[in-house]
Every structure is written in structure tokens, then in C-alpha cells.
Chains A and B, each alone.
Chain A
Amino acid sequence: MSNVHDPRPGTMPAGRGLIVILVALLTWSLLFAPRLEEAAEVHDGGARRTASLIVLAPLAGLSDVVGLTRVTDGVQRAVGLDPDAQPGDEDLPVDPLPDVPTSPQPSPEDPSVDTPTPIRTPTPSRKLRVAIIGDSLAAGVGYFAGRVFDPTLSRVSRQGRISTGLSRPDYFDWPRAMERIIAGYRPDLVIVMIGENDGQHIRSSTGRIEAQAATTAWPPAYAERVREFMSIAVAGDARVVWVGLPVLRDRAKWSGIRRRNEIYAEAAAAIGDVEYLDAWDLFDAPDGGYTAYLHDGGRLQEVRTQDGVHFTPIGYTILVREIARLATERFGLDPATYSP
């Protein structure tokens, strides 16, 4: 060694450093094992999930036996977290839901008939309440909806939760969340964009597989979930715009996405006050393929992000504009509520 010298004060040899690192990781693993195990369990199969569970299950068990779980649950409560919350409920925060008095609204006589009823005309004192529901695509719609909807006449509640869908209520239970949103916020207009993550086994809220992915049992089971979800959305007199999934760069996903879009469109046609917006046609290339660009406002704009799934701010803004236009066309939404 050319830089041999006496050890500096406060330093230690590499072997002791390794002990520090291993003890630190072991301590963290023991304390955090229950949460890690929960996160690993909701992954849909794969060697990584299996390997994670093999390591984490005994650690989580040990943590429970020695009473560490109670301590860590207490710490979570102390920092404002719910240790019993579903994994999908812990991510980026969504807007809090205020209690809103019921607004007089022309209500459909029979919600199962496809006869859209007009939405109420908002005023500055009684703004249009818009709720945006779904996965990360909906989270993006939520962030940029305010650029289209006039804040003096509307209020947008962002409820998009990343990595969620309708096939995994064991990860995040959207029907239950939707009931809460409808009861607490009483939206006039619900915008739903969900399903990009749903190409997997359909599970119950306890994680039991109800329909295997890529089997004949899957489409009817998924269609049932979509219809149930739509029924909850319109139950509180809301009008619903269900945004279909856009064309993705990854062609391997196209057939699954198209199948899901057919399910959404069919369900929307069968349930009153739900309208389907075809985002695939809106954003595909003239030859029907994927493109990241779209002409808008006399300029060619980059509308898709590099992941080939999500939208740029301009892309989301264009999408929200189309949603608002459809709401005007089908539900008579006052065009003054948004910028065309």
C-alpha cells in the first residue's frame, strides 16, 4: 500500500464497516419486512416475487413474533400513515374529498338505458365538480385538466392513483374508493381513464385468482367489473366520460388494449350517462400505428412521452379538451366551463 498510515480517528477497518452495513440492513429488513412482504405479495408472479417472498416471509414472521410489527405500526401511525391501508393507497396523495351538499340535478329515470341526461349549468357560486379517476394516465389528466376547465366555473378533484386498475382490488379497491368519492365529493362529471395495468389475472380483494389472464374466462369477468364500476360512478347522478386506452408504442400490447377498449365501449353503450371516448383513434398515426406527434393549433406537437404510454403536457391538454367537447356534445356541458 502506498498510502499506508495510522488509521484516522473515528474511522474503522473494512471488516468492521461490513458488520455495520450488514447489521444496518438486517435491522431495516426486520423493521420494514411486513411492508416489503405486502408490496412483494401484490406483484403478479415472477421469479423476483418468489425470491422476495422466500426471504421476506420469515423476516416478517420474526418481526411479528418479537413484537416489532406493533412498534413499526405505531411509527407509521405517528407519521400519519395507516398500516392497514392497501399498498395502492399509499402512493402519491390525491385531493382530499370535502363533503359537498347534494345539488339538484336532472336525474335519469332508468340508469340502464342509454339516454344521456343534461349536466347542470355551473355558476361561480356552484361550480361544476369534476372528478378524475383511474391510473397514472388519469393522474396525468388530473394534473393538466385545470388548463382546460375554467377554475371560476369548475373544480377538479384529482383521484388518479399510479399502478392501479380494476383487476387487482387486493392492491387497490377502486369500486370501494369510487363509492367514497361519489358520496363525499358528489361529482357532476366523472372522467375515468383506467385499464392500462389490467392485462393480468383478475383477483378478488383477498388476492384469490378469479380469472386467469389470456383465457376465455377473462373478458366476461373483466366486463363484469367494468359494468359494476360504471354503475357505481353514475349512481350519484354523475355523468361519466370513460376514456379508452390510447395506442401504445409496444405493439405486443395492442390486442389486449383493443380488447379492453371494446369492453369499455360496449359497457358504456349499455349504461345510461356513460360516454366512451376513443383515445386510440385520437392519437394514432394516419397509417394506424403509433406516433408521438400530432398536429394541433397549426403546429406539429410532441404529445407522447418517451415511455410510449403516457402523454406530454400538451398531449394531456388535447385529451382533456376532447373530453370536455364530448361532455358538451352528449351531456350538454356549458362550453363556457372550459377553453375550447
Chain B
Amino acid sequence: MLFPTVDFAIFFTLVFVGHWLLAPNARLWRWFMIAASYVFYAWWDWRFVPLLAGVSALAQGGAVVLDRFPDEGRRRLAMAGAVVAVTAPLALFKYYGFISLELANVFGSPPLPLAQLVLPVGVSFYTFMAISYVVDVYRRDTDVASPGDVFLYLSFFPHLVAGPIVRPEELIPQIATPRDPRSIDVAGSAWLVMGGLFKKVVISSYVSAQIVDPVFGDPGGHSAIEALLAIWGYAVVIYADFSGYTDIAIGVARLLGFDFPLNFDRPYSARTVQEFWRRWHMTLSRWLRDYLYIPFGGNRKGRTRTYVNLLLTMAIGGLWHGAAWTFVLWGTLHGAYLVVGQVVARRRTTGELHQPERARWRPWVQRLVTFHLVCLGWVLFRADSVGTAADLLGRLVAGWDDPTRLVTPVLVAVVLGMLAVQTLPVGASVAIRQRLAVMRPVPMGIALGTTLFLITTMGPQGVAPFIYFQF
């Protein structure tokens, strides 16, 4: 079920009523919410429901088993076994097709049967959360929860298909404690939902259709200016699409009385790539840090090993996005950015490099450079092959004399406007939210319904799935 659909509006209204009516009866409420979340998931393809249930059962089974072992060795073994078990379906669905095809080309005939496996929606996200749960129980960061709590933790529909990746200690205590029906932040939630819908339905759809899809589909047929706007445009599209989804997810969860962690914080205002990763898909960044980088040794095993760990973590993060060399290169490129950033920072600390003088223009130059380093990565991320990425970048050099047809003043305004708002302070929208918060229910409903009408009028008839559903 997609968020911006009539189906979801009806589904959510029913769930909202059931959730608050059943809240006093914890047992009944839990089963109701699990059932609702599984209906939400089955709406895509009911055949994957056993997979979600299976991963949940494996995670809980693994956590219970490892928790019973007193000695560290057996705990570690049980944790590793559980992590492998919950990760196996993800690996199979995500990488089997790629590996079988690559092997067929290496050996001349397929040693494994060729198969296009349909990737179950959200499998990456609930697998990551299952790993979090097992590892956190192993680390004694969280206690073994009840099976019902774990099943709901992994399937809770607002985060189910594209995050945010919520940690056990953030969500399980909220599941275990009845939510308070007397103080719901309706205005704040509505602001998030409407903003998310606007970003997805209007901005992402418009910029994709107008410039990104045509230029990335056929880089050779477009000018340098079109190529540049398509690259900037894709930076806007992926931000609007993914942060839009997350905003809706956080808003929907908040209407049910749950707090999700922030996932985006104006990422294109970052002055370094390291800062970018503190602002972009923040829950994935911290997941990679806590469950890959730190287990690899983090920065505890010397300088060289730190750099290797950074590269490895980001390359794996890239591969997680898809079984393609473009994603591996994208991740590795970001790993390299982070390594270079660390080297420069260290040399400045030791005096090998001089500290740059403070100047008012410097942060803006840093933002501009960081944004374009990120954009270079986005070219690899969006292109269907390394060759297409190279063609597109080549247009930035060779395409200045070619005619420019796709660039319109509205498009330029939308792309640059979306980038410019990232530099506004967080509080810029507070006044609107405060005005909404003091409205009575009926006027607030009319205002929101009218806003929704404007958003759906400006958007295309059918809304494409969110980009991150495929990961």
C-alpha cells in the first residue's frame, strides 16, 4: 500500500480508530496492530507475508537462545547464527539474480539457474531492524522482548517498507507502554504528512519527468546545461522522494502516539561529506556505524585500519542499495571522501596543513563543494550503468554547444528553490505549525483537505513508487 493513495487514507482512518479504542487493552491492541501491519504489507503481495513473519520469528528465536547462554563464546555463536539466518532471505532475493548472471558470463553457461527474483518490498529495512534487535540483545543494550512486541516492532506499518530504521530501544518500550490518547500532536503530524506528500507527489514527480528521466535515459542527446540540471535535479528528486516518505512515516506514527527518530536534516547544507552523512538517511548512517564500522574495529586499530574500515563500510552500504557495480562505486566513492576528510582533519590538527582562516564566504564554498561531491555520487547512483554515468559526465564537458530544450524557468526555480530551502534555519516553518496548532478541529480539517486537494491537483494521476522501496 502506497502512502499517497485513497487505499491508505481509508486504511489509516480505520487503524486510527481501532488503535485508540483498543489502547486500554494492551493484549488486544497489540494483535490488532500486528494484523493491521500485516494487511498493509499483504496489500503489495500477500506471498511475502510469511517472509516477514519468518524473519521476525528467527530474530526472536535467536535473541531468546543467545540470551540463555551464560558464556560469551556461545552467546557470540548464537548471535552470529541468528544474524546469518535473518540476513539469508535478503541476500537471496537481492543478489541471487546478479550473481547467477555474472557466473553465467564467466563460465559461458549458467552454473546456477538464472532467475529474476522479485525483491519483497521493505525486506532490507526489516532485516536491518532484525539484526539490530539480535545484536543489541547480544550486547545487552536491550532486553529480550515479548514475541508480540518483536513482531510489531519489525512489522509496524509506518516504518515497514522504507524506514526510518528504528532501533529496538527506541520503539519496543513505546510498544510496551500504552500511548496517551489525550495529547496527540495532530498539527505537527499533519505538517509532516502534507510536507512529505508535497515533496513526493509534486516535486519529485515533476522534476523526474521533466529532466531527470529523459537525460539519464539518453545522456548523449542532451546538452551540458540539461545534464547539469538533471544532476542537480536528481539530488532534489532523491531527497524529496525519500525524505518525503520519511516525513509521512514519522507523521503517521506520531498520530498514533509514537515518536520515530529524525532521518533527514537539510543534508545539502552540509559543509563536509562527513556532515552530509550525519544529515542524510541518518538512521542508516548510524546503523552502518554501529553494526558494521564498529564491529570491523572502527578507529580502534590504527590509522590504516580505520581508513580500510571506512571504505569497507561504505562499499557494503553501497552494495546494500542494489546488486550493481554502480552502487558499489557510489559507496566506495563516499568511503574515499570520508577517508580524505579524515586525513585532512588529522593533518590540520598536527599542523602539517595550515588551518584555513575564518571568512564569511568559506562555509558557502564548503557547502557548494560538498554538494557537488555528493552529486557526483548521485550520478553513479541513478545511472543504469557505469557507461551511462560516464556519458552523462562527458556531456558536462562536450555538450555546451548543443541545443537546450528541457530547461524551463519553472524547472530551474523548483530545483534551485528546493536546494535553497535547505539553508534555511529549522525554525522557519514553526510559525505555520503554531498557527495550525491553535485551530479547532473542523477548520483544521478543512485547511488540510484543501491543501491535500492542491497537492493532488498539482501531481500526476498515478504516483510512482518511492525510490527507496526498491532497496
Q: Known: A27-B450, A151-B221, A293-B101. Is A13-B462 also a contact (CB below 8 A)?
A: no
Q: Please choose the segment from B13-21, B145-153, B287-295, B417-425 that sits at the chain A interface, where 4 or more of its residues have CB less than 8 A away.
A: B13-21
- B190 interfacial by beta-carbon distance below 8 Å: yes
- Whether A31 is near chain B, meaning CB under 8 Å from some CB there, is yes
Q: CB distance A13 to B184 under 8 Å?
A: yes
Interface bin, chain A: 35 or more
Which residues of chain B from 1 to 60 have a CB within 8 Å of any chain A CB?
A: 6, 9, 12-13, 16-17, 20
CA distance A24 to B452 in the complex (A): 8
- Contact between chains at A292 and B114 (CB < 8 Å): yes
User: If A27-B449, A144-B218, A313-B217 touch, does A22 touch B186 (CB 8 Å cutoff)?
Assistant: no
Pick the 3 closest A-B CB pairs, nearest first: A23-B445, A27-B449, A146-B218
Contacts of A90 in B (CB 8 A): 460-461
Decide: B441 and A23 in contact? CB cutoff 8 A.
Answer: yes
Interface size on B, residues (CB 8 A): 62
Q: How far is the CA of A12 from the CA of B182 in the complex (A)?
A: 6
Interface stretch (choices B128-136, B208-216, B327-335): B208-216
User: CA A151 – CA B226 in complex, angstroms?
Assistant: 14
Answer yes or no: B177 CB below 8 A from chain A CBs.
yes
Chain B nearest CB, measured from A253 CB (Å): 18
Instruction: Tell me which residues from 1 to 44 in chain A have a Cβ below 8 Å from any Cβ of chain B.
Output: 1-14, 16-32, 35-36, 39
> Residue on A with the closest CB to B97?
A302
B residues near A151, Cβ cutoff 8 Å: 220-221, 402
Contact yes or no, A31 B449, CB < 8 A = yes
Scan residues 425-471 of chain B and give those whose CB is less than 8 A from a CB of chain A.
Answer: 434, 437-438, 441-442, 444-446, 448-450, 452-454, 456-458, 460-462
- Contact A27 to B445, CB < 8 A, known contacts A7-B183, A32-B456, A143-B214: yes
Measured between C-beta atoms, what is the minimum distance from A313 to chain B in Å? Answer: 4
Closest residue of B by beta carbon distance from A143: B217
Distance in Å from the Cβ of B116 to the closest Cβ of chain A? 5
Instruction: State whether the Cβ of B61 lies closer than 8 Å to any Cβ in chain A.
Output: no
Q: Within 8 Å of chain A (Cβ to Cβ): is B386?
A: no
Contact A72 B116, beta carbon cutoff 8 Å: no
* Chain B contact surface mostly: helix
- A105 adjacent to chain B (CB < 8 Å): no
Whole-angstrom distance between the Cβ of A21 and the nearest chain B Cβ: 6
B349 at the interface (CB under 8 A from A): no
The CA of A36 and the CA of B5, in the complex, are separated in Å by 12
Query: Is A158's beta carbon under 8 Å from chain B?
Result: yes
Of all chain A residues, the one with the shortest Cβ separation from B174 is A3
Q: How far is the CA of A223 from the CA of B126 in the complex (A)?
A: 50
- Residues in A whose Cβ lies below 8 Å from that of B118: 306
Q: Is A75 an interface residue (CB 8 A)?
A: yes
Check B221 against A146 for contact (C-beta < 8 Å): yes
Per-residue 0/1 for B182-197: is the Cβ within 8 Å of any A Cβ (1 yes, 0 no)?
1111111010000000
The contact string, 1 if C-beta is below 8 Å from chain B, for chain A 150-184, is 01000010100011000000000000000000000
- Are B442 and A21 in contact (CB-based, < 8 A)? no
Cβ-defined contact, B457 with A32, below 8 A: yes
Encoded as 1 (CB less than 8 Å from any A CB) or 0, chain B from 234 to 261 comes to 0000000000000000000001000000
